[in-house]
């Protein structure tokens, strides 16, 4: 699937209108329901194929954030061959009690994988958890940058964001 076709598919499948409260607490009249595109094997595969080209050199581990980043990181791991870690929002108080499951991140150049970035708040928290676990964070890769300040907040925290699409690109794909 070409990049323009993928943008149109994501928009058509996942763009909703109405009144939505975002994780950041902001209210929006539109929403991209990531689970609608993440649950489509053809679209998820195409996303992984296009994201693979955006993986910075030197990466050793892909770390997907709970919950939306997990299908993305799994597909990207299958496509790229990089091992994946699954990052919890909060470590459980039983079992391994780790914030990150799967591939080891200690001492590894780790790329955080997320589905949608709005404010970047959860990514910043999870990046700190990964750093505390010994990961060397090399950046953040997402499917959609909502262009609502997340990129700037991540940069202030020393995290460079790479996105497959911006909100503007997805909207424009629907017009074209």
pLDDT at res. 149: 92
Position 45 confidence tier, pLDDT thresholds 50, 70, 90: very high
The stretches of the chain forming alpha helices (DSSP H) are 3-14, 34-38, 41-52, 69-80, 121-132, 150-156, 167-175
For residue 5, give every residue at least 6 positions away whose Cβ sits within 8 Å of its Cβ, in sequence order, or none. none
More confident residue, 5 or 90: 5
Burial class (CB in 10 A: 0-12, 13-18, 19+), 96: exposed
Q: How many residues does the chain have?
A: 176
Question: Rounded mean pLDDT of 26-30?
Answer: 85
Give me 170's structure tokens: 């997805």
Separation in Å, CA 126 to CA 27, 59, 91, 123, 166:
23, 18, 11, 5, 22
Domains, in order of start, for the chain = 3-175 (3.40.50.2020)
For residue 156, give every residue at least 6 positions away whose Cβ sits within 8 Å of its Cβ, in sequence order, or none. none
pLDDT at res. 161: 98
Res 30 pLDDT > 90: no
Look at residues 77, 55, 47 and name the one whose alpha carbon lies nearest to residue 139: 55
Q: What share of the chain is helix, strand, coil (3-state, %, to 5)?
A: 40, 30, 30
Res 48 pLDDT > 90: yes
Res 37 pLDDT > 60: yes
> What are the pLDDT digits (tens) for 117-156?
988 999 999 999 999 999 999 999 999 999 989 999 999 9
d(Cα 141, Cα 26) in Å, to the nearest integer? 22
Cis bond leading into 67, ω under 30°?
A: yes
pLDDT at res. 176: 57
d(Cα 80, Cα 125) in Å, to the nearest integer? 26
Question: Rounded mean pLDDT of 152-173?
Answer: 95
More confident residue, 31 or 49: 49
> What are the pLDDT digits (tens) for 62-119?
999 999 999 999 999 999 999 999 999 876 677 667 788 999 999 999 999 999 998 8
pLDDT at res. 62: 98
pLDDT at res. 22: 73
pLDDT at res. 92: 67
């Amino acid at each position: 699937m070409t990049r323009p076709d993928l943008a149109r598919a994501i928009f058509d499948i996942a763009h909703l209108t109405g009144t939505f409260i975002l994780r950041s607490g902001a209210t929006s009249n539109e929403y991209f329901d990531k689970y609608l595109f993440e649950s489509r094997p053809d679209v998820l595969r195409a996303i992984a194929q296009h994201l693979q080209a955006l993986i910075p050199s030197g990466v050793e581990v892909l770390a997907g954030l709970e919950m939306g980043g997990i299908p993305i990181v799994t597909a990207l791991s299958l496509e790229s061959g990089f091992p994946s870690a699954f990052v919890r929002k909060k470590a459980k108080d039983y079992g391994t009690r780790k914030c990150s499951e799967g591939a080891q991140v200690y001492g590894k150049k780790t790329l955080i994988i997320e589905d949608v970035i709005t404010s970047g708040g959860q990514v910043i928290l999870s990046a700190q958890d990964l750093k505390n676990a010994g990961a060397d964070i090399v950046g953040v890769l997402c499917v959609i940058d909502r262009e609502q300040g997340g990129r700037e907040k991540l940069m202030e925290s020393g995290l460079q964001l790479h996105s497959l699409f911006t909100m503007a690109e997805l909207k424009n794909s629907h017009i074209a």
